[in-house]
Amino acid sequence: MPRLVIDTNLLISTAAHPSRKFAIWDAVRRAEFVLVVSRAGLEEFVDVATRPLLHKSLPELASNSAKFLAEMTDLATLIPEPLQRFNLVSDPRDSHLFNLAIDAKADVLVSLDKKHVLPVADPAHPQHQELKSLASGLRLIHAKDFALELQRLRQDRRG
């Protein structure tokens, strides 16, 4: 089964809108993918989800984050401490996503980060080859593009 890493910002967005249906989260719930998480990723989710400033702009986050975290922990495969093999020079704080994907042998890393994470998919990016040497099958994809792919796959299955 394909393995999936989801960027924290996307998880926060999903947790902050419990009444909306998200194609990616639905795919995780349907076990179409194995969601992989790390302790550091779970800690980052809690850190971000408990920021009072965020609760002002995303009021449902405060009331839903614990429930979402419990569901995510239940659905996910935990990779406790991924090895530090890749350092994203443009934003070292996002390196943990790549290292999780590498250790988990993930097929897909889904992100909203067009500035730091997603550009590494471009062969012209200075760290593209380094990442490919560590995780040759890893795809980096924007959440909207991945959601569209999931919708097309479901439509194709229906015939």
Domain segments of the chain: what residues?
Answer: 5-158
Strand residues in 3-101 grouped as ranges (E) = 3-6, 34-38, 77-79
CATH no. for 5-158: 3.40.50.1010
93-111 confidence digits (pLDDT tens):
999 999 999 999 999 999 9
Q: What pLDDT does residue 21 have?
A: 82
Phi, psi angles (nearest 5°) of residue 34:
-95, 115
Neighbours of 64 (CB within 10 A): 19
Phi, psi angles (nearest 5°) of residue 36:
-115, 135
27-69 confidence digits (pLDDT tens):
999 999 999 999 999 999 999 999 988 888 888 998 999 999 9
What six digits make up the tokens of 29?
């719930």
What six digits make up the tokens of 81?
């401490």
Q: What pLDDT does residue 153 have?
A: 82
What angle (nearest 5°) sits at the alpha carbon of residue 72, between those of residues 28 and 54? 115
Q: What pLDDT does residue 92 have?
A: 95
CB-side exposure of 139: number of CA atoms within 13 Å?
Answer: 12
pTM for this prediction:
0.93
Cβ atoms 101, 40 nearer than 8 A: no
Mapped onto helix, strand or coil, the DSSP state of residue 54 is: helix
Cβ atoms 8, 42 nearer than 8 A: no
